[in-house]
Chains A and B, each alone.
Chain A
Amino acid sequence: MSAFRDAGHLLRFAGLFVLAFIIFLVVRKFVVPKSFGEYGHYRGAAIGEIAAHPAHFAGHQACEACHADIADEKKGGKHAHVNCEACHGPLGKHADDPASVTPAKLDTAVLCVRCHAASVAKPKNFPQVDAADHANGVPCETCHKPHNPALEAGGAK
């Protein structure tokens, strides 16, 4: 018994561990979402929650339904496969209610260089410019039509 008494303090330390472990399990029970691990190492319910989010993008079909003239202009140009909302941003609300939600006018001097700023990391045949050197602050649309940007497609020379 004396050996047990002399080792009693070790049991107290072990008790601390057990207590900490019990607290851990209790807290875990409350903080880990019920659906965690349902499909993988994440909260299963997150899938439904994300799916329930309202769609921000309308999709190019919705745009083309009203803006057939722009769709025609894009056809055959270099931007034919660039989605409308890639440049104009998500316009789901505008598609739902075109009268009251009007998209903001884009600043082509800022917008175009997002893709066309010169970078050695881009393929050589991808059109890219040093904006300051190329346009000197003049908006790109002065020469290029954004929906069909080749100069011969009708932009001012």
Chain B
Amino acid sequence: MNGVEGFMYPNEVELVWSVLIVLYPYITGLVAGAFILASLERVFRVDAVKPTYRLALLTALSFLLVAPLPLQLHLGHPERSPEMYFTPHSTSAMAMFGYVYLWYLMAVLVFEIWLDYRRDIVLRARRERGLLRLIYKVMTLGSDNISERSLHIDERVGWVVTLIGIPSAFLLHGYVGFIFGSIKANPWWSSPLMPVVFIFSAMVSGIACVMVIYMATSKLRGTTIDMGCVDTIAMYLFYTFIIDFSLEMLDLIHRIYEADESFRSLNFMVHTKLYFSHIVVQIGLGTLTPLVLLAITQVTKLSEMARKRIYALAGALTLIGIFAMRWNVVIGGQLFSKSFLGYTTYKVGMVTREGLPVAIALTLLPLLFLWVLVKLLPPWDDASAAHGATGD
């Protein structure tokens, strides 16, 4: 049979979960990671990362809006998805995700962004004309109170929302890991470490994503990159990455030492079918290389230009590496037979609902959403300073 080696059960030959299911944990991971970066400033008072606070929130929102789309395209019948809310199934982790998603979207991200931008929204509603004015007016919810006291209340409430948001972000992405980790029939997935690994890899990818977007947008806008800010982000990226890598290695060592009945088959798969995506891309290019690059910036004194280049390269490689990690989890877990005697092949479709063009479009769509959000709610300091009129 085409692409099959050894013995496969008939239902294992075709992969059920495609590249879109790879994208889904990748995107939710970016959401959770970006939010955790934002919380550094808000809750942990890391002032150095302040220039990226709003950008991180908008990035998280842009990616969160796209997060359900891969699932909708994979499952088909999007008109049925509201039924998940109307008839909640409390013992289905996948069904409960709908509520986690909605909670995180509305009670955490949208609320926090609204609180943080409320002053700017009110000022813009006063200043703009036409359709923009109407949009901002709607966003004020009819309240143009931006007195010092009301803004102080926003600040306090925003802090609480961020505090609630941190476990929510962990829940959002921990759930994704939980889904895989709880599939006991699949030894490649079934591990209680899976949710923890997913959370830390999410933080790594989200931090790297915001760092790269911040540097890219600064370059595009022709503004100076705040090196104190990116140095701090890179430091946190480095530390988080070390924890993430340690956890993944712990999982690997545990598997090797335990060497259960699936080990020989999985080991063979990692050295053959998954060699390029797992060993070369995920571990070599996407983990060890950025770790070494970031370590160099931590232990040596490099020029600003060299640091910028290293951060950009390390950030991009990290994003590729985490995508490869998702790929290896989702696709890798479907390439071997439960009999441990055979392997199948996954070929990404082209002109299908779950093909490569769709996957690329879904990867780029959050950037389009981010562009619209940035136009509507500029996250830059100069934008809010430009019309610094005080309220009533």
Asked if B254 lies at the interface with its beta carbon under 8 angstroms from chain A, I say: no
Identify whether the interface residues of A are mostly helix, strand, loop, or mixed.
helix
Instruction: Determine the distance from Cα of A121 to Cα of B338 in the docked complex, in whole angstroms.
Output: 12
Which residue in B86, B106, B150 is a CB contact (below 8 Å) of A6?
B150
In the complex, what residues of A have CB within 8 A of residue B145's CB?
A: 5-6, 8-9
A39-92 contacts to B, CB under 8 A, are: 41
A157 at the interface (CB under 8 A from B): no
Query: B9–A24 contact, CB under 8 A?
Result: no
1/0 per residue A1-25: CB within 8 Å of B? 0110111111011001100000010
Residue of A nearest to B153 (CB): A7
Chain A residues, CB < 8 A from B147: 6
| Chain B min CB distance to A19 (Å) | 11
Question: A37–B107 Cα gap in the complex (Å)?
Answer: 29
Q: Among residues 69 to 91 in chain B, which have CB atoms less than 8 Å away from a CB atom of chain A?
A: 82, 85-87, 89
CB distance from A38 to the nearest CB of B (A): 12
Contacts of B222 in A (CB 8 A): none
Question: Is residue B1 within 8 Å, beta carbon to beta carbon, of the partner chain?
Answer: yes
Known: A2-B149, A32-B86, A41-B89. A12 touches B142 (CB 8 A): yes
The proximity string for A residues 87-115 relative to B, scoring 1 for CB distances below 8 Å and 0 otherwise, is 00000000000000000000000000000
What chain B residues lie within 8 Å of A31 (beta carbons)?
Answer: 82, 86
Distance of B378 from chain A, by nearest CB (Å): 21
List A contacts of B86 (CB < 8 A): 27-28, 31-32
Interface string of B1-37 (1 = CB under 8 A from A): 1000011111000000000000000000000000000
In the complex, A6 Cα to B82 Cα: how many Å?
36
- B87/A32 in contact, CB under 8 A: yes
Which of A6, A9, A10, A120 has a CB less than 8 Å from the CB of B7? A120
Could you tell me if B106 and A17 are in contact, using CB atoms closer than 8 angstroms? yes
* Range class of the B interface residue count: 20 to 34
**A42: shortest Cβ distance to chain B, in Å?**
9
Contact: B87 with A9, CB < 8 Å?
A: no
B114 on interface, CB distance cutoff 8 Å? yes
Cβ contact of B143, chosen from A2, A8, A32, cutoff 8 A:
A8
Which residues on B sit within 8 Å (CB–CB) of A8? 143, 145
Give the nearest-CB partner of B88 in chain A.
Answer: A41
In the complex, the chain A residue whose C-beta lies closest to that of B339 is A121
User: From A27, which residue of chain B is reached at the shortest CB distance?
Assistant: B86
Q: Is B157 an interface residue (CB 8 A)?
A: yes
User: B89-119 vs A: 1/0 string, CB under 8 Å?
Assistant: 1000000000000000011000100100010
Identify 11 residue pairs between A and B in the complex whose beta-carbon atoms are under 8 Å apart, listed by A's number: A3-B149, A6-B147, A10-B157, A13-B114, A16-B141, A31-B82, A32-B87, A119-B1, A120-B6, A120-B342, A121-B9
CB-CB nearest 8 A-B residue pairs? A9-B143, A6-B150, A12-B141, A6-B149, A121-B10, A28-B86, A32-B86, A7-B153
A residues touching B (Cβ–Cβ < 8 Å)?
2-3, 5-10, 12-13, 16-17, 24, 27-28, 31-32, 36-37, 41, 119-121
Extra contacts, 4 of them, besides A8-B145, A41-B87 (Cβ < 8 A), are: A6-B153, A8-B143, A120-B8, A121-B8
